[in-house]
Amino acid sequence: MKEKILEELKKRYTLTQKDMQGLQKIKKGTTNIDCDTYEIEGVGNLFLMNMKAMLGAMKMETYVITPFSKDLSFCNIDTVQAMGNDMCLFEMYKTSLHDEDLSVFEPIKEKYKDLPEYDGGEHWYDSVRLSSSIGKKGKKIMAEGNGMLEDCLIAYLDLLEKALDCDPEAKKEEVRKYVDRLIAEGGMAVDGLSKMIGKEETTKLIRDYMYNI
């Protein structure tokens, strides 16, 4: 997905890679994490992370597009491969200043309705998780799951191109509220990272680079 995300964004925007102050590559025991972050000119922040653990038996990818100058909620794209199971998630969390029309995602949900659903249980962020979010989990679903994520990515970028300009500081404050709770109360990627690299490094990675607040 990393190459696809960069390819599609570069068709539309200028990307400038940013220095991650030593956090671009993290190694803890058998866990290797590679990260990159970019400024999306006129939009906001892009974060890309690939993690391998247990000698490659577990692989996780996390990608976050966070608009600050455009009034569209941020999106996370996650894939996990572990113990014979594949998981593919596209999620949007309410951080826009106004309501959004997310009906463009309904045909995608219909297209991939036969893939097994991901049930992550109940979490604090369910109340701000938007209807466009889609999660699938099952054995050997990665090929179809990546197809679903690519469709979601294109739909999201189409919305981003049409999104209204907004006050970046007001938008950043909405993202900050989400990130404060994410660090305090946890989430899938945060909990996994904290166990592997510690709370302090995880907090810096999330605040400064994943969401750039």
The domain locations on the chain are: 2-210
Q: Which CATH class is domain 2-210?
A: alpha beta
pLDDT band for position 98 (cuts 50, 70, 90) = very high
Q: According to the model, what pLDDT value does residue 114 have?
A: 96
More confident residue, 61 or 29: 61
pLDDT bin (cut points 50, 70, 90) of residue 162 is very high
CA distance 60 to 49: 8
Q: What is the model's pLDDT at position 149? A: 98
DSSP, collapsed to helix, strand or coil, labels residue 213 as coil
Burial classification of residue 64, based on how many CB atoms lie within 10 Å of its CB (0-12 exposed, 13-18 middle, 19 or more buried)? buried
Radius of gyration (C-alpha) of the chain in whole angstroms: 16
Q: How far apart are CA 129 and CA 71, in angstroms?
A: 16
Query: Does pLDDT of 142 surpass 90?
Result: yes
Q: Quickly state the pLDDT bin for 19 (edges 50, 70, 90).
A: very high
Beta carbons of 186 and 206 less than 8 angstroms apart: no
Using the predicted structure, report yes or no on whether residue 129 has a pLDDT greater than 90.
yes
Name the residue among 58, 92, 90 with its Cα closest to residue 163: 92
Torsion 2-142-130-112 (CA) sign: positive
Percentage of the chain beyond pLDDT 90 is 77
Cα–Cα distance measured from residue 60 to residue 74, given in angstroms and rounded to the nearest whole number: 20
pLDDT band at 115 (very low <50, low <70, confident <90, very high): very high
Distance, in Å, from the CA atom of 50 to the CA atom of 63, rounded to the nearest integer, reads: 9
Across the range 122-142, mean pLDDT stands at 95
- In whole angstroms, how far apart are CA 35 and each of 20, 134, 176? 8, 24, 21
Residue 31: what pLDDT? 85
pLDDT more than 70, % of the chain: 100
Q: CA–CA separation, 165 vs 98, rounded Å?
A: 11
Question: Which of 201 and 157 is assigned the larger pLDDT?
Answer: 157
Mean of the per-residue pLDDT values of the chain = 93
Task: Identify the helix (H) or strand (E) that includes residue 23.
Answer: none
Residue 193 confidence (pLDDT): 81
pTM, 2 dp: 0.95
- What pLDDT, on the 0 to 100 scale, is given for residue 101? 97
User: Residue 183: its pLDDT value, please?
Assistant: 92
pLDDT number for residue 53: 81
Taking residue 88's Cβ as centre, other Cβ atoms within 10 Å add up to: 28
For position 55, what pLDDT does the model report?
72
By CB neighbour count within 10 A (0-12 exposed, 13-18 middle, 19+ buried), where does 203 fall? middle
Q: What phi and psi values does residue 160 have, to the nearest 5 degrees? A: -65, -40
